[in-house]
Amino acid sequence: MAAYENLYWSSGDGLKLHARDYPGGAEGQPPILCMPGLTRNARDFDALAARLAGRWRVIAIDFRGRGESAYAKDPTSYVPTTYVEDVEALLTEQAIDRYIAFGTSLGGIVTMLMAGLMAGPSQGRMLGALLNDVGPEIDAQGLSRIRGYVGKASVFPTWMHAARCVAENNDDVYPDFAIEDWLAMAKRLYRLNSSGRIVLDYDVKIAEPFRVPGNEAGPDMWQALGSLRDVPTLIVRGGRSDLLSAATAERMAASLDRVELVTVPGVGHAPTLTETIVQAPIDRLLARALEGAAIRA
């Protein structure tokens, strides 16, 4: 596990939000903002941060209602536009004017929406983007699968029980995982509560707005993606993904000027970003982003 500090800030509606702040990078080097999927949290990016340790500052975000971020009083705020506002509040508080965004699933939707804000004085803030197994169009099969499990509370007496449940629900996503991998995944998805039981590490009310058609993304995601046309972008797709089709991924790549598309074979939704096949593309993306930072300095 890479060393990190806990970073806290306040949302516009008064929630105390959290991120893991992994130090690194030269003075003036833009940080990498890592934003997780719907039911996930900052812990998803620990292995990535460990690989980049020292060379980059990595800020892995817990969206509201996840991990160490506070739960919202109003569940209707669990929507992408609010997550964008929360991340913008973090950027303002940390005086971050340029950054690279890594977004998995929901985090990728937030990344695209943030790119759509880049106009006028905000032009050039996002120096690079990684969209992990998500695009402007989300396959109905994947949406149905996610709506089938999100928000359903589960409690386990031991981590091994939790790991076995995670394996049963995701064996088609990660068919090559061993029990050690499932155990590690369980510890990213769940937490130990005050009663010594293992429970989901998110507010089950995040499911309420997500179950309403249209709330899973923004109004015009192709337009939002278009804001990345001149931004170095890496699209990562799981070869077995039921959320991002090969056709949509290829259309995304065709619509951008500075893009690389990588498919991770034998993996569903979503790649962990620790796969060997994505390491060199990630490094190329970061190098291109640094070039852009130097040009704009």
The domain segmentation of the chain, as residue ranges, is 5-142+209-296
Average pLDDT over residues 217-224: 81
Grade residue 219 by pLDDT with cuts at 50, 70 and 90: low
Give Cβ neighbours of residue 194 (< 8 Å, ≥ 6 apart). none
pTM (two decimals): 0.95
Strands (E), 188-283: 190-192, 198-200, 233-238, 259-264
Res 296 pLDDT > 70: no
How high is the pLDDT of residue 200? 96
- 5-142+209-296 placed in CATH 3.30.930.10: no
User: How confident is residue 289, by pLDDT bands cut at 50, 70 and 90?
Assistant: very high
**Res. 183: pLDDT tops 80:** yes
**What percentage of residues in the chain have a pLDDT greater than 90?**
83
pLDDT of residue 256: 98
Please write the tens of the pLDDT for every residue from 90-133: 999 999 999 999 999 999 999 999 998 876 555 679 999 999 99
Higher per-residue confidence, 198 vs 1: 198
Task: For the sheet with 58-62, list strands across it.
Answer: 5-10, 16-22, 58-62, 32-35, 99-104, 126-132, 233-238, 259-264
Q: What is the pLDDT of residue 95?
A: 96
Q: Residue 146: its pLDDT value, please? A: 82
Q: What pLDDT was estimated at residue 218?
A: 60
Q: How confident is the model at residue 199 (pLDDT cuts 50, 70, 90)?
A: very high
Averaged pLDDT of the chain? 93
Residue 92, H or E segment: helix 80-93
Least confident range of 80-94, 217-231, 277-291:
217-231
Q: How far is residue 146's CA from residue 144's CA, in Å, rounded to a whole number?
A: 6
